[in-house]
Structure 1
Amino acid sequence: MTDAAPELVDIDNSIPEVSQERYIHWKKNTKLLYDYLNTNATKWPSLTCQFFPDLDTSTDSHRILLSSFTSSQLPEDEAIYISKISTLDHIKWSSLNNFDMDEMEFKPDNSTKFPSKNLYNDLTVRFPGGDCNRARYLPQNPDVILAASSDGSIYVFNRTKHGTTASQSLNSTRYAMKLSSANKSQDIVQVDETNETVSISCNGQKEGLLASCYSQGQLKVWDISAYSHADPIINQPVISLNDADPKGLNDVSWMPLHDSLIAACGESNYVALHDTRSSELISQSDSNLHQGGINACKFNPHNSLLLASGDAEGTVNLWDLRKLDKAPIKSLQHGSAVSTLEWSPNLEPIIATAGQNDGLVKIWDASTDRVIFTHGGHMLGVNDIAWNAHDPWLLCSVANDNSVHVWRPARHLVELQ
């Protein structure tokens, strides 16, 4: 089923002509390409997206963590927000009671009550300072949301303290906690555009432990369990590596089944493995195997020894962590700069890569080195992608054309043989 949705954006001269043509062809073929597709246009682009782990089965409603990125043009619009959407899987389309004899197709009767067809905001929290580069919830407690800011801080929000509507949250306490080694003042936010918090990653084994990386090359580990209500600012990280990448870091990832190993990557074109117990560098890849800076690195959640990294030239390398200083297991070519990548939480060999320039999201079967699906609905660069834990092929993607897409490829196109 393809769910009708409003157009993404007005096509104008700011969109490359080749992207406009590709979008027109893509739009004509969506019914053949997708089992489900929902496109939404927002006021501002989001740099981040993540499905929450819960699912309301009565309405098949999923929650998604998003952000508003204004590039500091309108600070009052800078926000993180939680949206909801139903993919309508709770509707029993194949029931004979829903078969329309006149049109010879399945349709629910007129008494069926549908949830909203598109994304709707469940909660909005105004961002305290800078732009939100990345937001993630704490795996052990999804009500705790962490956001990496362009002002060099990490802001921690407690969803339960912000009511249930956008209007309530805008007047609530700005944040529950702030992690910043540069500024001890709770009331004055000093924007440091030269050293942004670029990305964050939460430890899946130890609650409250998170890693952050910075545009000037620092790698830090924080423990938010050290929080004190009397002083909500933590200015001392547990670990601080000031020269993890002298040219700047772009991404960081905790090993899923280990509480002390972190992978980090950046502009020096190598992936490095660090041990937080000794603050030592364990191993790193050859910098000649990536070009233009590595933008993303992620561990496979099914196999902690398998690491993927994607660079600005479009190369995605898959590494055996035990041989990180050797050649990669294999290399995939996205075709343009890779902004981010994500392994499927449901299917071990499946990985999705997002295009920073071409606006494409490609789904790969890493066991065969084959692209099994390409999502071409974004007309500008893709900022983030997320898999859904409950639906093996459901994804969310956000791009610079202000679009938020929730989509599921047609099963016959992607099912593994």
Structure 2
Amino acid sequence: MSDTEGADNANGELSIKEEYELWRKNCRYMYEFVSETALKWPSLTVQWLPDYTTEGDSGAYNCKLLLGTNTSGQETDYLKLALTTIPSGGVAGGANVNTRIKVIRKYENPLEINRARYMPQDPNSVATINGDGQVDIYDLNEEAGPLKTAFKFHTENGYGLSWNPHQKGYLLSASDDKTVVLTDIDSQKKVFQNSFHLDIVNDVQWHTQHTFGTASDDKYVCLFDIRVSSENPVSKLLNEDSKGVNTLLFSPFAKNLMALGNANSNISLVDLRHLDRHVHTMMGHSDLITCLEFLLHKDGVLALGSQDRRVMIWDLFKIGEEQQQEDAEDGCPELFMMHAGHTGPVMDLSWCPFNEWTLASVAEDNIVHLWQVGQTLLNSDTSVVVSNDVLE
């Protein structure tokens, strides 16, 4: 038994193994399907690709995902293209569908892949950023072989990566070297390099065709407009209690809503018109936030991953709802669901773009989870969080 598990048992808490076994026993209450695939090395990144085919008899989706490797220098690292089949709404409970992931192509990289994201205008063009801050562009049409393009504008490890959804080939990257770089992939040139932040830039995200946001360990969240200045933000927020801002994202439905994942484990909701104050702070995780993503099919639904091994789904429209005392003990009203199947810190997650309420998540435990929120939860009049004290 590990020291951590021993301490947990001494405090009357479940060990990681016991929590996992309890979660597996109760999956039927929360999911339409759950798939677990073990990898040789952990992936720090995951993203569904938008193209898919359907199987005639079952209606199931044949689809692909992007994964990476983090071998800690022990083996060659790769961007990986994986194939899987997931049930559609017409396949109850995922019957007769093998959801196990199969890696069909590997693309070599000098270091661990921290993030991999496809270009919206051309999903076969995939950008990665690695442990040295190098940005590489791959062509998924190629079976294997050399990179399409490599850019070495950063000098340290990087995680932030964002394609402009309106201007083809414009790619933002962010790094531990405190900089943000905009690269024009088509011309293979650096458009600018921003050095505003005083500490690690953890994330960067496009907001509109000309504006983007940055999140940093210096506790600042900044908004830039490249039509005005590439160096100075048009507005900024000092998130003093955050202990550093790890990730940010703009709502696809509400143009002035921004969500921030903080190192203090809290989630901040911010109105872009009033950056001097938070709209709301959500608390539920017990460790720093690593990733977040808004659901594309329904307004106000946000999934977050954390180093506490949890993925939590939040319904922002339930903020402020009254609760019974017994419900309040399981969490705030906006906490819709907790996915507790990972046994290591969650590193990335991705909502499926073509199958509603379906997520992929990856963690340091080397496991990829594919899962769909159960209809029992979706059709419930109230949010349901299955906590340890009510499980079998």
Describe the SS at the equivalent of 1:329.
Answer: strand
Matched, 1:196 2:193: no
**Residue among 105, 110, 117 paired with 1:123:** 105
What is the alpha-carbon distance in structure 1 between the residues aligned to residue 365 and residue 4 of structure 2?
9
Q: Within 2, Cα distance between the matches of 1:380 and 1:15?
A: 13
Paired letter, 1:238:
V
Gaps of 5+ in 2: 9-14, 320-333, 382-392
Determine what percentage of the aligned residue pairs are the same residue. 26
Taking a change above 3 Å as real, the CA distance of residues 92 and 261 of structure 1, as seen in their structure-2 partners, is closer
Q: Residues 314-393 of structure 1 correspond to what in structure 2 (within 5 A)?
A: 314-324=265-275, 326-335=276-285, 336-356=287-307, 358-369=308-319, 370-393=334-357
1:285 and 2:257 matched: no
Structure 1 stretch displaced more, 60-69 or 136-145: 60-69
Could you tell me which residue of structure 2 aligns to residue 406 of structure 1? Answer: 370
**Structure 2 residue 237 is the aligned partner of structure 1 residue 237:** no
Give, in angstroms, the shift of residue 287 of structure 1.
3.0
Matches within 5 A, 1:96-111: none
Deviates more, 1:363-372 or 1:44-53: 363-372
CA–CA distance in structure 1, aligned partners of residues 99 and 376 of structure 2: 24
User: Which whole-Å CA distance do the structure 1 matches of 2:94 and 2:48 have between them?
Assistant: 29
Aligned to 1:13: 2
Shift of the 311–209 alpha-carbon distance from structure 1 to 2, 3 Å rule, reads: same
What stretches of structure 1 of length at least 5 have no aligned partner? 1-11, 94-105, 109-113, 164-168, 183-191, 228-235
Q: 1:270 aligns with which of 207, 213, 220?
A: 220
Query: 8 Å contact 2:181–2:193 — kept in the other structure?
Result: yes
Q: 1:107 to 1:71 in 2, by over 3 A?
A: closer
1:115 to 1:19, Cα distance in 2 relative to 1, 3 A: closer
> 1:190-269 maps to which residues of 2 (within 5 A)?
195-227=156-188, 236-242=189-195, 244-255=196-207, 258-269=208-219
CA distance, structure 1, for counterparts of residue 3 and residue 80 of structure 2? 27
- Name the CA distance, whole Å, in 2 between partners of 1:14 and 1:50: 34
| Structure 1: 4+ residue segments shifted above 6 A | none
Structure 1 residues 32-111: aligned runs within 5 Å: 32-58=29-55, 59-74=60-75, 76=76, 78-89=77-88
- Cα separation, 1, equivalents of 2:94 and 2:111: 48
Corresponding residue for residue 27 of structure 2: 30
Query: What TM-score results when the alignment is normalised by the length of structure 1?
Result: 0.80
Asked if 1 retains the 8 angstrom alpha-carbon contact of 2:29 and 2:376, the reply is no
Displacement of 1:14 in angstroms is: 8.3
Q: 2-side partners of 1:90 and 1:344: how far apart?
A: 17
Q: CA deviation at 1:246?
A: 0.9
Paired residues, what number?
352
AA aligned opposite 2:235: S
Partner residue of 1:159 out of 119, 137, 140: 140
1:131 Cα shift?
Answer: 1.6
How far the C-alpha of 1:177 sits from its partner, in A, is: 0.4
Aligned to 1:140: 121
TM-score by structure 2 length?
0.85
Q: Return closer, same or farther for 1:371/1:220 CA change in 2, 3 Å cut-off.
A: same
Work out whether residues 57 and 90 of structure 1, in 8 Å CA contact, stay in contact via their aligned partners in 2.
Answer: no
Per-residue deviation, 1:90: 8.0
For the Cα contact (< 8 Å) 2:137–2:150, is it kept in 1?
Answer: yes
Q: Distance in 2 between matches of 1:355 and 1:282?
A: 30
What is the identity, as a one-letter code, of the residue corresponding to 1:291? Answer: S
CA distance in 1, matches of 2:270, 2:316: 12
> Residue 111 of structure 1 aligns with which residue?
none
Contact 2:32 2:94 in 1 (8 A): no
When Rg is computed on C-alpha atoms for both structures, the one with the higher figure is 1
1:287–1:90 CA distance, 2 compared to 1 (3 A):
closer
- Measure, in 2, the Cα distance between the counterparts of 1:208 and 1:116: 36
1:174-189, aligned counterparts within 5 Å?
A: 175-181=147-153
- How far 1:91 moved relative to its partner? 6.8
| Whole-Å separation in 2 of the counterparts to 1:29 and 1:360 | 16
1:304 CA displacement: 2.4
The one-letter code sitting in structure 2 at the alignment partner of 1:328 is H
